[in-house]
Amino acid sequence: MSMCPPIANHPRQRSIQPGETMDITFQSQGEFAGEALFFFVFEKEPEKTPGLQTWLAAQGGWLSGNPAVDTFSGKAKSVRYFFPPSGTASPAAILVGLGGRKNFEPRELRRAVASAVGCAMDLRMTEFGLNGQALRDTGLDLPLAVEETTCAAMTSVYRFERLKTEKDEPPSQPPKLRILMDDQIDDQADARLKDRLDKSLATGHGLNLARDLVNMPANLATPEYLAQTARDLAARYGFGVEVMAADQIEALGMGAFAAVFQANRDQARLIILDSRPSVSGLAGQSASIDAEKPLVVIGKGITFDTGGISLKPSQSMEEMKGDMGGAAAVLGFFEAHGRLGQNDGNQRRIVGIIPCTENLPGPKAVKPGDVVTTCSGKTVEIINTDAEGRLLLCDALAYGKRYNPLGIVDLATLTGAMVVSLGPRIAGAFAAPQSLAEQVRRIGERVGEPCWPMPLWEDYKDELKSEVADLKNVGAREGGAIYAALFLQRFVPENTPWIHLDIAGPAFAKKKGDHGIAGGTGFGVRILVELVREWPEES
């Protein structure tokens, strides 16, 4: 996120405290009394920005003709700001570059908004506005521009500082962003814009919840902490919830999941969330034939991963607190889903399945060569205890069958091989049918959570054959992400559409970027919000 140039004697940057967000609403232009206005400028085109030129002409000349305006480069994420003369009843102007006009995409708008908000916060401003004309000037559909602006603004102010004892005094209230609209919008268009604003506010809250969960250290964000988060969501939004401990999980026959938690049974939890609990029973009960078929979303919840007996190297092991990024994304999605209520095409029933534990060594830990029986009845030889995520997920996938689902989506920080294949910012999408992977690729491109379709190649399945069990939990070293997905596919209920998102790279950012600070990104929340809306009804 680009910040403003340094200012002499500038106070330290303020921090947004946990639980805070931005206060974002629409406002008529005549009512705005904030400290700054944002203007977006394409590269080398300040004179071709109608919103900026109209505003300049109305300012009594204090900024018109200023060469610093005319020479503003407009390069992506560049920022230049102007304060009015003393005694002038005018807000400051913050110009933000969009880059080149050709092939302009929503992601460039998100970056520009993050730069603008970052600059205003650096200047210790508390209320700033964005003219609706500035959004139109981007050439994007206005409702889409409103949605992307809101999500970008909310995520750009995110900070995780709740564990610091030395920090700035928190602001007395969250910063305010006002999207300024003219009076020429008809009621129907106005309703569409408000719907988009509500949707993006809900999504932003979900994203930031997921980020909090990933950023929380593992001694605090335990499986029980995730379970309590689910209970809180259920109480707030009327979801059904059930949380099972080790004995109950074993009673379900989840031998693969149990193998991972046997070194620390107290930390095992299986979390079930149901957005429509009145439709059918929860965890221990199969859905009735007449029950509404849900979309099932599954998130891997390894709250800390040492690798178990197959111990990981110590370098960067502290980042393994983020191995529950899939679980965080599912909980963040339920936050967004709950805030949206039954509006905005949000009526579909969703069931979340979140298996949670730590993966630790110890005298009772699972060993390489052990064989376990999954709740599907299939047996698995555990070759590598650091390939534990798929052991949780295989039981969760098989368990999903009892809901007679429309489809299943699972998200997991599953393999380092996926990061080697696609780098740190792109998730791998494995799907059956393959068209689902292409659908998610399009969604991810639109919302800034990039995914790339990956193959489920039949010929590789032989590598998962075991001499002593039905299959083993790892294949060859090369193509490791594909073998992991092929392993999971063996447990997907028959004839059920399924997509597996390996988010090992983008769930955790090692340095600040489009999402703001380093750490958890909330990757997957926006994809789930959109995918739930687009998932087809049963044919």
* DSSP code string of 145-190: HHHHHHHHHHHHT----TT-SS-PPPPSS--EEEEEE-TT--HHHH
162, HSE (Cβ side, Cα atoms, 13 Å):
12
Which helix (H) or strand (E) element contains residue 442? Answer: helix 434-447
Q: In 3D, which of 201, 424, 410, 231 has the Cα closest to residue 326?
A: 410
Name the token pair of 522.
């909330």
What are the helix (H) ranges across 216-296?
223-237, 246-251, 255-261
Beta strands, E only, 332-419 = 350-359, 371-373, 379-381, 407-412
Which helix (H) or strand (E) element contains residue 407? Answer: strand 407-412
Q: What's the CA angle centered on 37, arms 174 and 511, to 5 degrees?
A: 60
Q: At what angle do helices 434-447 and 525-534 cross, to 10 degrees?
A: 120
Q: Which residue has the tokens 């026959």?
A: 253
- Whether 390 is catalytic is yes
Q: What's the CA angle centered on 170, arms 165 and 174, to 5 degrees?
A: 145
> Phi and psi at residue 249, in whole multiples of 5°?
-65, -45
CA–CA separation, 481 and 420 (whole Å):
9
- List beta partners, residue 356: 269, 301
Among the options 312, 378, 425, 490, which is catalytic? 312
* DSSP code string of 191-204: HHHHHHHHHHHHHH
191 burial (CB, 10 Å; 0-12 / 13-18 / 19+) is: exposed
What Å distances lie between residue 140 and 19, 45, 189, CA to CA?
31, 17, 15
Among the options 80, 110, 159, 390, which is catalytic? 390
- Whether 312 is catalytic is yes
Helix (H, G, I), strand (E, B) or coil at 242: strand
Q: What amino acid positions are annotated as catalytic residues?
A: 312, 390
